Structures are given as structure tokens and as C-alpha cells.
Structure 1
């Protein structure tokens, strides 16, 4: 039976991940669809993925988030509040920029939002790792998946629907306001920094957990900085696990990046795409996250991940149906529901294992290294997916995505995580 204390933890995590994923899904789902409707080429839409490069490189500054903070506010709570307010502010600025007349300034602003989201991600995941006990991580990551799905509904599908009715400016102003309101549970949370202070002192010597100058010498700080990455990658089986994350993310993002433009080319409106991907799809992802957490609790990590990966690879084959001209509405809903549902259950499993492989001394860094590897795979295939689609068509893109998925399934089957 779940205790009241655990329910409070899950409620906080849900609000955190809703907040975190709203701007993320705006960048990855709503913006490409909006830009395609404005006439941008598939190649350009694919290259828009590079705006999210900070999300893939945030492991480079994750040790700074682990080491420095403001204990009076709560170490990671401090960073979450600061960066989410900055993201809301930048979103409000974007609302004042015209897509037609301020395109360069808009891209720069979105790049800044991407950097802020990347840093917020470090603090959010680190807080979750410290908050959840090992036996709570399966259900905790179900909550993460549900929160991410709700964030997708708001930031992705919801924004597309509002775009269609209110236009660019009012829609982004609404998103900024929602992000500020979503911070309320974080303000009420009291982070326990006592245990963390002891393990950090042990890890880094005379390090001071404040926004001030540390008494640790620059040479020691530099050595500990690089050793953090080296020691993590030397863990048994870690390189194999990172390769699995790379292939899974690359396969998923290559297909997901080109599916919304395909829907535009078929003739669906912004509102229709918003409902299909941002509401129906995200709801299926949330359901997948819940189912994944329950199964993970009963079956364990490895068995669940293997079964989930098989279902996910099978779901990717459905992308080929509309690519070959089968574009009836039931088929489009089948594609959205099956792919989002299996991504939901896969994310629950992978996120849980990523937490298991993260230490309490450097949770932000360890978890971020793993997520960065996956995002690098996503950016790599997502950014070239448009070029591939222009050369060999949507069919070729989805076929390559399926091939990578099959390889990752075989790796999961043969290796012990």
C-alpha cells in the first residue's frame, strides 16, 4: 500500500515534470508543425532539432549544479525555481516576436530557452533521485511519464490547438503563465539537504554548498570534474547501456520528427494534429507510463525492458502505413496511440534503470550523462531526418528508424543491464 508520504513525493514529481516537459514539447512538437505550415522545408525543420543541442550537452555543466546551490532554499529546489522563472520570462519575450519579421531573434530566444530547459532538467532529475527510494522508482517514473505526457498535452497539442484559435502571441503568453503557476508545489516543498551535504563533503573535501567561492583549490576542482565523468563511464556494463540508450533515442526521434510534417502534407490542420499527437498521443503515453510502472514492479527491470522494447519496435512499423498512402483517420490514430503508448512504457523502464545507475553523491551528473547520450542520438537522427526524407521519402526514414530499433532490441536481449 502506498503511504501518504509517497503520495506527496509522487505529487511533487508530477508537477515538476509537467513543468519541465511543457517547453520541451513546445519546441519538439508544436514548433515544427507550426513552421511547416508557414512553408519551411523538411530539411529546415529537421535542422531545428539542433536548437536543442544544450539539452544534449548539459552533462558538461551538470557537476556545477550538483556542487553549487543555495542551501537555505534547498539545493536543487533553488535551481528549479530560478530556471523555471527564467524560462517563463523568455517564453513571454518570444510572444512579442513575429515569426515573419523577427525570425533570427526568435531562433536565438528559443536557443536560450533550450539552454535554460537543459539546466532545469539536471536539477529536476537530481531532486527526483534523492527523493525516491529504490523500490519507489518504478512508480515514480510512471509519475514522470504521466507528468511528461500532461506536459506534452499542454506544451505540444494544447499549444497547437491554441495557435489555431488565438495566434502566436496569446498562445505563448498563456504557456508562460501556466509555467509560473506550475511552480506552486515546488515553493511548498522543503528539500532535505542534510544527508546530501555529508556525501558531498565526503566526495569533494572542503567544498561549500553555497553560491560562494569554495576553499577547494582549482586543481582539485578540475580533477574531480573530469573524474566524475571517467568514473561513471568505467562502471561495469555502462558503455553497453549508453549504446542502447543512443539507439533507442535515435530510432524514436528519427520517426517522430518526420511524422508531424507527414500529417501536414496529408492535409491535416493544426487543430487536428494537436488533438492527434498532443492529446490522444500524449494520453496514450501517460497510460503507457502507468502500465509500465505496474509491470516493472512485478517483473523487474531487465525482463520488463526486453518485453517493452519488442512492443516498441513493433509499434514503429505502423509509421510505414501512412508513409505508403494508408491515411484513413483510424490508421492515423492507430499510429499515434501505438507509438506513444510503447514510448511511455519504454521511458518508464529506461528512466528507472537510469536512476539505478546514478549515485546519490552526483545524481544530477550521473543521470544527465545518460540522458545526454540519448538526446545526442535524438538530435543526430532528428536533424538529418528531413534531408533523408527529401532524398528517399518518408518510407526510407521510417525503415531506417525500424532497423535501429531492432538492433537495440537485440542488444537488450543479449546483455545483462
Structure 2
């Protein structure tokens, strides 16, 4: 039985990679190609809005949950939505940078909707089929798949595009997705030792916001990650504009940066205790301020390639640590028996903050250039650091209350 669960873990991990890699490529890889073609910072920032479906993940879950029984099990939902996503990737492969920008945005948006939607039955199927003893490993496999997607989508696919042209990455990722769907089709949808147990009542979204300390955490959730993440979005165009060839940018920011993010995330999860999370949070935000300030200074003072690469590496480490902490806190602050709805609310708020900042930063880039944009991100991160320090004890009391439940 254990070997079958390991096979299930592999299939779900492969599906997570196949769904995430194209999204990473579209959100973090294409900005490099856009800048290479002379797109403005505002245009690059506006295209980041194609990731908006992540904000409405709870809404996309409603039909999957309502029509899940008997005729529409999670596996069928996954195959149907995954097949539509495959068609969207093939449509993008047939397009190109010369495609009218409005049409290209629609194609990317369609892919984003389908990737977000397909992820819902995949996650539900993993929870259904894997027993509780396997779910910790499932979380680790999923996290590893996302980081692998960052390296593949943000680095390897860019190198493939530079070597073979626009269509090659989309065709390669289509083959990966098709392989994952074929493997999923071989699985039988069964209960993972949970059959016969009554399900707890569904959580209500309003209950999350009525918790003591919810207000400060929501504000921090909206502002904690977006500023360092926005700097990461514009890092590839920045390096390109600083004279680095596109293949070097893919290696530096995609593969190298993704690998540093993996190390920082794992180290943070290993070294920071659950009880210490609310206290480490202000230090992490302060670290983001320092990294953003260093990157802004490196660009403004034109200190040379070595310093710019060092600042880029520190930004990758900050991204990994920040994402590890925020996801840990999101899980910690989900009420018992209401984890799905509470995590969905927090994930939507997290995505809202992450998607709102890049378009504004793109406007600042066009007006004040990279130093001005990075300085604005630094100041905004500093304000969040002040807020996180002031609300540290409120968040800590909330975490303590959650642990006691």
C-alpha cells in the first residue's frame, strides 16, 4: 500500500510541476522577451494582470465542489480542465511576439484561468486519495514541484526559447502536461483511509475576518510579499537593460535565482520554529528593505556587474525566505475544520497584493527609471516593516490562540 501512495505522490507532484511551469514562464519569463522586443515597463506590468484569476480561486472552486459527486469526480474535472489548458498552451505556441498585444493578453489570461482552475481538483484529489499520514510528504512534494517550476519556467524554458524560438517552450510544456494527465488517468479515484468518516461543517468566509487580530494580519498579507516580488518580476528586464545577454539572464535570474530561492526556503523552514514565526516576520521584512535598497543603490551608482549580481542573489534569497514565512503563517492562521476556506481567502488576498503592485511599478519605471522604481519599492517595504513591528504582538497573540484550538 505504501508503494502505491508513493506512486500517487509522484503523479500529483508531476501534475503540480506541469501546471505551474507554464504560469511561471508566462509571468516571469515573458517579461524578458517583452523587454527584448522593446515593450515599455507599463506594458510589461499590465500583462502581469493576466495572473488575476488566482485572486478568484475560491469562486472557481464552487462548481468543482458542487458537481463533484458521482458523475463529476475530481479526476474527471482534472482531465477536462487539464485538456483545455493543454489546448491553450498549443494556441500560445501558434502565436508569437508579433501577435497583437490584446490577443496575446487574452491567450495568456485564458491559460492563467485554466491553470488556476485545474489546480483546484488536483489538490482536492490529493487530499481525498492520500491518508493523513501521507499529507505532510504531499506538501513537501508540492513545494518542491513549485520550486522546480520556477527553475524550469523562469530559466530553462527561456534558454529553450533563445535556442529554438517562441513555440519550443510551449510545446515542451504541453508534452509535460499531457504526460501528467495520462498518468493521472491511470489512477483510480479512491478514499485514502478516510471513507465513512463524517466531514466537518463547511467554514464561512466571514468567520475568518471576525477573528481577533485578523485585521493586522490581512494588511500584512497584502503588503508583505508584493514589493520584493515586484523587484523579482523586473529583475530580468533590468539585467537585460544593464547589458547582460538574454541567455545569461536566464541562467542568473531563472536557474541560479530559483536555486537560491529553494535553499532559502528550506533553510527558513528548518531554522524558524512555529512559535517564532510572528517574531521573525519583522526581521524578514527589514531584510527585504535592505535588499531592495542595495539593488536600487547598485543600479543608481552603476557599481558594476559583480555588485549587481550579488544584489540579485540576495534578492533571490529574500524571495525564498519571505515566501516560506508567509505560507507558513497562512497555514498557521487557518481555523481548525475551516482550513480550506481560510487558506483560500488568504491565498486570494496574497495574490491580490502581488498582482496590484507590478503595474504601478511599471509606470514608475517608465517615468523614473530603475533607480526610482526600486527606491519606491524600498520605501513601501520599509512602511510594511514598521507595520509588522507594531503589530507583532497582535499577530503573536492570534497565532497563540490558533495553536490552542
- TM-score class normalised by the smaller sequence: 0.7 to 0.9
Alignment correspondent of 2:40 = 41
Query: 1:381–1:170: structure 2 CA closer, same or farther, 3 Å change rule?
Result: same
Query: 1:119–1:235: structure 2 CA closer, same or farther, 3 Å change rule?
Result: farther
Alignment correspondent of 1:108 = 106
Alignment correspondent of 2:50 = 51
Structure 2 SS opposite 1:61: helix
Q: 1:367: Cα distance to partner?
A: 1.8
Alignment correspondent of 2:350 = 374
Alignment correspondent of 2:402 = none
8 Å CA contact retained: 1:29, 1:156 = yes
Which residue of 300, 303, 308 maps to 1:332?
A: 308
Q: 1:407: Cα distance to partner?
A: 3.0
Structure 2 SS opposite 1:358: coil
TM-score, length-scaled by structure 1 = 0.80
Distance 1:199 1:337 in 2: 49
TM-score, length-scaled by structure 2 = 0.83
Q: How many residues are matched?
A: 390
Q: Which moved more, 1:93-102 or 1:181-190?
A: 181-190
Query: 1:299–1:110: structure 2 CA closer, same or farther, 3 Å change rule?
Result: same
Q: 1:113: Cα distance to partner?
A: 0.6
Distance 2:268 2:9 in 1: 16
Gaps of 5+ in 1: 205-226
Output one character per residue of 1:37-63: Cα deviation in whole Å (capped at 9) or x when no partner.
112111111111112221222233334
Distance 2:144 2:193 in 1: 30
Alignment correspondent of 1:18 = 17
Query: 1:231–1:66: structure 2 CA closer, same or farther, 3 Å change rule?
Result: farther
Distance 1:342 1:126 in 2: 31
8 Å CA contact retained: 2:299, 2:308 = no
8 Å CA contact retained: 1:158, 1:278 = yes
Alignment correspondent of 1:357 = 333
RMSD, aligned α-carbons: 3.4
Query: 1:327–1:47: structure 2 CA closer, same or farther, 3 Å change rule?
Result: farther
Q: 1:364: Cα distance to partner?
A: 4.2
8 Å CA contact retained: 2:15, 2:177 = no
Alignment correspondent of 1:270 = 246
Query: 1:244–1:8: structure 2 CA closer, same or farther, 3 Å change rule?
Result: farther
Distance 1:90 1:123 in 2: 18
8 Å CA contact retained: 2:93, 2:171 = yes
Alignment correspondent of 2:174 = 176
Query: 1:29–1:293: structure 2 CA closer, same or farther, 3 Å change rule?
Result: same
Alignment correspondent of 2:367 = 391
Distance 1:369 1:349 in 2: 17
Gaps of 5+ in 2: 400-405
